[in-house]
Structure 1
Amino acid sequence: MLRRHAFRYATLLIALAAASTGALAQKATKAAPSAPWPTKPVRILVGFPGGSTPDLVARTIAEPLSKALGQPVVVENKIGAGGNIAADQVAKATDEHTIGVMVNGNMTIAKLLNPKTPYDPVKDLAPLSLIGTAPLVLAVPVTAPGNTTQEFFLAARNSGTKWSYGSVGVGSVGHLGMELLKTKTNIDPVHVPYPGNPQVINAMIGGQIQLSLLPPALAAAQVRAGKLKAIGVTSMGRSPLVPEMPSLAEGGIQGFQLEIWTAAAAPASMPKPIVAKLSGLISEIARSPEVRAKLFQQGWQVAGTSSEGLANRIKNDTNILGGVIAMRGIKAE
C-alpha cells in the first residue's frame, strides 16, 4: 500500500514538473524578440529601363538604404506596361524583402485605365514615401501665336480641333493632364500619341502638333536652345527646377495644378513594423542634403513624405485624374 502511494506521489511530482517546464518554455518563447529584419538583401523593383528617371531615383536611394539596413539593396529593372509589370510583382511579393520605386500612374489610376491590370494600387500596395515631385511645362513651337498666356489660349480656343497635342501615350500624365487643361480653358486640340518625348518634341518643332505637357528638364533644354517656348508650368507657383518659367496660374489659368512624381511602395501584405521602418528610412534619406542634391539634378523637388503623406497624395490624384478618365471615357490601349 505504502509502495503504491509513493509511486503515485512520484508520478504526480513528475507531471507537475513537466507542466511547469512547459509553461516556462512557452513564456520564454512569447518573450523572445522577433528575428531581426532584414535577414537578406532587399530588392527594389523598377518598371522602367536603366537610366530612366525612376531607375536613377531607385539607385540614388539604394546605397544609403543599404548602409542603414546593414544588407545589400539591389535594384532590378522589370520593364513593361508603363511600369505596371514591376508594380504587380511588388504587390504579389511575399518575401518581406521586396519594394518598388514607381511613378504616379502605377500607384493611382492603373486599374481605372485598364480593368485588366492584375493588381489594385489601393488594396495591394502599401505606401512608403513620396520621394520627389515635378510640374510639367506647357510647351509650344516658337512660332505659336500670342505674346501672353491669355493670347495663346485665345488662339487655341479659336483653332478648336484644328490644333493637336502630343503625349507619350494614352493614359500618360501628359495625356490626362492636357485633357484636364482642356476642361479648365475650353480649348479642344486633338490627342496624338507618340512613342516617347523626343518624338513629341520633334513633332512640335516640325509643326505637326501645336502643344504638349513636357517634363521640366526636357522642356527647359529646348526653350534655352530657342527651339520651343514655354507658356507656363503646371504648379501653383514657379518651380525651383525652372525658376525662369512662369506658372500657368500667373498667366491667369486658375484651378489647374498637375505634377508628376515618383514614390516608394511595398506589398500591402508586408508587416506594419517593417513598413514603418522602411518609410522612416526612405523619407530621411530623400531629405538628406547629399541625396536631395542628387534628386534635384535628376529633375525632382524632394518631398520625402511619410507613408500617410503619400497615401493622401494617392487619394487626391486618383480622384482628380480618375474624374478625367471617367468624364472623357479614356481607356488604355
Structure 2
Amino acid sequence: MLHAAARMLALTASILTVGMFGAAHVRAQDAAGFPNKPIQVIVPFPAGVGVDVVVRIIGPRLGASLGQSVVVENRPGAGGNIGHDLAARAPKDGYTLLGTASNFVANPSLYRKVNYDPLKDFVPVIGLIRTPSVLVVPADSPIKSVQELIALAKASPGKISYASGGNGSMAHFSGELFKTLAGVDMLHVPYKGAPDIMTSLLGKQTDLAFPVLVSVLPQLKAGTLRALGVTSTKRSPQLPDVPTMYEVMNPGFDIESENGMVAPAGVRPEVVAKLNAEIVKILRDPAVSGPLIANGFEVVGSTPAEFGARLKNDVAKFADIVSKSGAKVD
C-alpha cells in the first residue's frame, strides 16, 4: 500500500509538472504568435493633443516591428473618462491598448463617479514620456521670482490670478499644489486649453500659469514669457537656468505629466512584455527620442513594474491634491 501510494504521488507530481510545462509552453507560443490582427490604441483626447502625438509617432513603427497595423482611435470626452471606460471594457487579449495622461490617475479623485479603477482594471505596459509644468509670468511682469510671488500673494489674498487649461488639467493641479504648499490664496481662471492660457497671459488677463513645458517652450524661447520655476525634481535641459520648485520653496514639490500605455487587466504578462520590449526599442531610436527631447519631453521607456509603481504613486498624489484643494468636477 505504501509503495502504491508513493507511486501515485510520484505520478501526480509528474502530471502536474508536465501540465505546468505544457501551460508555459502554450503561453510562450501564444506570445510568439501575437499579434495576428491589428492593434487598437485608444486615445482619450482629440487628435494632435497630448499623448496622441507620441502614440502616433510610435504606432507605425510598432506596427512594422510586429507585422500588424496599429490603429489610433481618438475617443475624447468627459475629461478622458469616455476613452478610459471604453478601454476598461475591451477584450483582455492585448489587441486594445490605452494611451494615458495625468487625468487617467487623477479623475477617480476629481470626478464624483468614474466607471474604472486605474490600478485594478488595467495592467501597465510602459511609461513613454514625461514633462514638467513651468511657473510662467509675462516677460514684463514685476514678479521676478517664486519668493516674490509668494510674498505678493500673501500680501494680497485672492488678488493674483492663475490660468489653467480647465478643471483637472495639469496646470490646475500644479496651481492648487503651489497654493497649498505656499500657504497663499490665488484666483483660478480655467480655460479650454493651452492656447487660451497663452492668450490670457499675453493679454494681461491673468498674472501667471503652470503650463506643461512642451506647450510653453516656444514662448519662453521667444522671450514673451518668463519662467520662474519648473515642477520636476531636476532642472530641465531646455531651461538649465530655471530652478526647480525644490530649490526655491520649502517645502518644494514635483508634479509631472507622464504619458504611457496600459492594457485591460487580464492581458497575459507575456503579451505585455512583448509590447513593452518592442516599444522600448522604438523609444531608444535617436530618430524618435531626439525630436521628443528637443521639444521638452523626457523619454522614459520604463518596465511594466516601474510604470505600475508610478501609476500607484500618482493616484495617491493627485488624490491628496484634490483632498487638500477641494477641486472637483461634477
TM-score, normalising length: structure 2 = 0.86
Residues 260, 307 of structure 1: alpha-carbon distance in 2 compared, 3 angstrom cutoff: same
Q: CA deviation at 1:252?
A: 4.1
User: SS at the partner of 1:243?
Assistant: coil
Find the aligned partners of 1:276 and 1:48 in 2 and give their Cα distance: 26
Structure-1 residue corresponding to 2:14: none
Structure-2 residue corresponding to 1:112: 109
Find the aligned partners of 1:252 and 1:306 in 2 and give their Cα distance: 32
Pick from 123, 146, 149: which aligns with 1:149? 146
Pick from 123, 127, 135: which aligns with 2:124? 127
* Pair 1:243 & 2:240 matched: yes
User: SS at the partner of 1:43?
Assistant: strand
Identity within the alignment, %: 37
Q: Is the 8 A contact 2:131 2:214 kept in 1?
A: no
Q: Is the 8 A contact 1:174 1:212 kept in 2?
A: yes
* Pair 1:74 & 2:66 matched: no
Residues 297, 83 of structure 1: alpha-carbon distance in 2 compared, 3 angstrom cutoff: farther
Pick from 189, 192, 210: which aligns with 1:192? 189
Pick from 13, 35, 39: which aligns with 1:38? 35
Q: Is the 8 A contact 1:164 1:191 kept in 2?
A: yes
* Pair 1:93 & 2:76 matched: no
Residues 245, 219 of structure 1: alpha-carbon distance in 2 compared, 3 angstrom cutoff: farther
Q: Is the 8 A contact 2:92 2:266 kept in 1?
A: no
Q: Is the 8 A contact 1:110 1:121 kept in 2?
A: no
Q: Is the 8 A contact 1:127 1:266 kept in 2?
A: yes
Q: Which amino acid aligns with 2:34?
A: W
User: SS at the partner of 1:249?
Assistant: helix
Pick from 248, 255, 259: which aligns with 1:258? 255
Q: Is the 8 A contact 1:287 1:303 kept in 2?
A: no
Aligned pairs for 1:307-322 (under 5 A) are 307-322=304-319
Structure-2 residue corresponding to 1:159: 156
Q: CA deviation at 1:210?
A: 1.2
User: SS at the partner of 1:278?
Assistant: helix
Q: Deviations over 1:243-273 (max 9, x none)?
A: 3433233334543111111001111121222
User: SS at the partner of 2:229?
Assistant: strand
TM-score, normalising length: structure 1 = 0.85
User: SS at the partner of 1:214?
Assistant: coil
Q: CA deviation at 1:165?
A: 1.0
Q: Deviations over 1:159-202 (max 9, x none)?
A: 21011111111122211121111121122101111011211221
Residues 76, 299 of structure 1: alpha-carbon distance in 2 compared, 3 angstrom cutoff: farther
Q: Which sits farther off after the overlay, 169-178 or 77-86?
A: 77-86
Find the aligned partners of 2:296 and 2:262 in 1 and give their Cα distance: 20
Pairwise CA RMSD? 2.2
User: SS at the partner of 2:248?
Assistant: coil
Find the aligned partners of 1:226 and 1:135 in 2 and give their Cα distance: 19
Find the aligned partners of 1:258 and 1:62 in 2 and give their Cα distance: 27
Find the aligned partners of 2:169 and 2:259 in 1 and give their Cα distance: 14
User: SS at the partner of 2:125?
Assistant: strand
Find the aligned partners of 1:55 and 1:147 in 2 and give their Cα distance: 35
Find the aligned partners of 1:270 and 1:138 in 2 and give their Cα distance: 40
Which runs of 5 or more residues in structure 2 are unaligned?
Answer: 1-18
Q: CA deviation at 1:46?
A: 1.0
Deviation >6 Å, runs of 4+: none
Structure-2 residue corresponding to 1:11: none
Find the aligned partners of 1:146 and 1:193 in 2 and give their Cα distance: 21
Find the aligned partners of 1:199 and 1:165 in 2 and give their Cα distance: 12
Structure-2 residue corresponding to 1:176: 173
Q: Is the 8 A contact 2:170 2:211 kept in 1?
A: no
Q: CA deviation at 1:231?
A: 0.9
Aligned pairs for 1:249-328 (under 5 A) are 249-328=246-325
Structure-1 residue corresponding to 2:100: 102
Find the aligned partners of 1:294 and 1:242 in 2 and give their Cα distance: 16
Structure (1 or 2) with the larger CA radius of gyration: 1
Find the aligned partners of 2:180 and 2:308 in 1 and give their Cα distance: 26
Find the aligned partners of 1:55 and 1:297 in 2 and give their Cα distance: 18
Q: Which sits farther off after the overlay, 285-294 or 71-80?
A: 285-294
